[in-house]
Amino acid sequence: MDLFTAMDIGSSGMSAQRTLMNTISMNLANIRTTRTVNGTGPYVRKSVMLESTPVDAPFSKAMQTAQDRELAGVKVTGLVNDNRPFRMQYEPGHPDANADGYVAYPDINVVEEMANMITAMRSYEASSSSIGTVKNMFTKALDIGR
């Protein structure tokens, strides 16, 4: 594996974790949203779908060695709505309350979202660290070549 491929893998991980962090932030920001912009009901929790993706161009596959054949990065394939039922809370004075006085809130667990956020932050930091290591190796290789 060359240094640029290692940087591509690290940057794909950073990009995916950034999207995950943005989605978690969006979920936390809408934890009490009972009506969306189009007025269809409460906010629906989002999740990020990730998939492995090859980091090489088709031509470079012909030039690979046995050690380089299974290298893959990560990409975001999309956001999906969570299918958890809404959390019903009794608030008869709320403008979005139903006839029985219950308001539908998104079922977003703050502890779960914060645990996901910590995991995403650690993954982002690991990808950033790997890119930093590759940059240091590249610099050392240039120093050796002088």
Q: Give the model confidence (pLDDT) of 50-67 as tens digits.
A: 998 877 655 555 556 655
pTM: 0.82
pLDDT tens for each residue of 18-61? 999 999 999 999 999 999 888 788 999 999 999 988 776 555 55
Please check the confidence at residue 141 and state whether its pLDDT lies above 60: yes
How many whole angstroms separate alpha carbon 135 and alpha carbon 4? Answer: 9
Token readout for 22 is 């943005």
pLDDT tens for each residue of 71-104? 788 899 999 999 999 999 999 999 999 999 999 9
Give the helix, strand, coil percentages of the chain, each rounded to 5: 50, 20, 35
Q: Distances in Å between the alpha carbon of 145 and those of 30, 95, 131, 139, 141?
A: 54, 71, 21, 10, 6
Q: Does residue 43 contact residue 104 with C-beta atoms inside 8 Å?
A: no
